Structure 1
Amino acid sequence: MINDPDVSAFESAVGCGERLRKAREGAGLSLEAVASQLKMPIQVVSALESEQWDRLGAPVFVRGQLRSYARLLKVDLGQLLEQARIAPVEPPKLVSHTHTPPMKRMAENLGRRAVYVVITAVLAVPIWYVVSSTTRSAPPSTASLDVVPPAAATVAADPASAAASPAAAPATSTARQEGPYLASMAPIARPAAAASALTLNFKGDSWVNISAPDGATVEKALVRAGETRSFNAGQVGHMVLGNAAEVEVQQAAGSVDLTPYKRGNVARFTVSSDGSVAPVSP
């Protein structure tokens, strides 16, 4: 190893790489041995000795590698490093981004708002469509049993003129479409002669609500004038007849007077298992 603190004028003129090469050869070390001890590629050690700094990267790395090489050989390169033709270490330039031009800031704000509006529309429009569709659904039509629809009353009062008049047909068709709605849970009993315990003959249009003894709906609809309903014993338990003055109720024994069961023009009564009629219990 070489440890000579007194450097002659001739030696001071020698570059760092040359000084390191002479120190390595004086110590009897090969390039491979130095590279192994410094854990550097042999090409890097060779470039350091030949002072090919541009092959070794940034100046800060070159200086560090030279110092490591000098420590291994115990050579002082302080003054030589100052004289060496190695570019000085320049600190990185810092660029401030804190100031944003007004136009750029305004464009960024508009872009963020546009994204917010688009996201809101994508989420809100389907919800609004579902809610509005549900709200627009028309409620079911209802009507009082005490009121006979005008079109039905016209047909009942003068069937012949209603049939002869061309305008009467559309009105009747409309009345049928807008009228209440058959909600029968049992087949409608048609006239069955002597087997029927109770028969209803409709001289005019009438709203009916007929229930079975267990409360199930037998028929709930607007029955037209001229139609007939017949029920066997035990088939019905409760009846409500609108426009009762135009309904004739018959039992096997004869006609039933609905006067005791009427309130206004609506009759309400119960039907026993044998077809007999009785008032509704209060």
Structure 2
Amino acid sequence: MTQNDLNPPTQELSVGQTLRQEREKRQLSLEQAAQQLKLRVEILHNLELDQPDKAILPTFMRGYLKSYARFLKLPEQALLIRFEQQHQVKSAPVKTMRTFSNRSAKQRTEARYMWLTWLIALVLLVSLAVWFWQSARENKLLQSDALPGPAQTVLAPTAELVSEQPLSAVELTTVEPELTTSEPETPTELDVTALPPAAQQQLEQLNQALQQEEAVSAVSEQPPQSLHDRLKMTFSDNCWIDVLDANGDRIAFGTKQAGYVMELNAKGPFVITLGNPGVVSIELNEQPYDMSRFPGNRVAKFTLSGQNE
């Protein structure tokens, strides 16, 4: 009998046996381990039996094995290699990423962008220089037009000479306009009683006709009453409006802001649509309109009669 027969070699534990032995060493049940790992009990049970579920992809099984080994403080990489050798599962090869960056092409692109930037800057500088030149030219032309001409230089001394004339000459020149603008003397009053009765009657008729003409002219000189209505709308909050006049023309439309006061002079009746009537106060011809019958936050459409209705 040899020494090897007396001490047979110990067989290496499988992955599942290693997991189960470590779990039992820590006095944990499968349910406790599954609860802490947030995995199903069947998955851990199959791993300990070295019978992984074939319905689960090998990639997920490797992930479950690594999580279980990490939880039990076991070397996860060594167990993963043994698991792959035992079940003949190969890890997916890591694919090298291809790079599509081409330094020379990138440099050419950057060069084109740089040349384009310089070209745009040059065009802007030339445009700015042309604009300054045109502005200076226009200012020069305006200044040359503003300079006094020959006629003005001749008139200036003449005006000084006129202003230096003696006072007596000026007084002599102003005598004649005063005579022409003097008011005519009022005629003396006519004694009506000295006239014959027929003449007195005609004079009275003439006076009555003159009084009637004066009354008619006074009435005609009064300004005609305006045919337009004055509509005033005050907004305490934002509100959408649409206002039509008597001809159906839209005279106001859109959203008015809080605090806005709108005054319209047009011919009524007015067809008014308000998106939020509770925030609008209306005056028609300086008379307030009752808006309490319209509920707030609801569209209201109504008609306001004008002064001719």
Please identify which structure carries the higher helix content. 2
TM-score of the two chains, using structure 1 as the length reference:
0.35
TM-score of the two chains, using structure 2 as the length reference:
0.32
Higher relative contact order (CA 8 A, sep 6+): 1
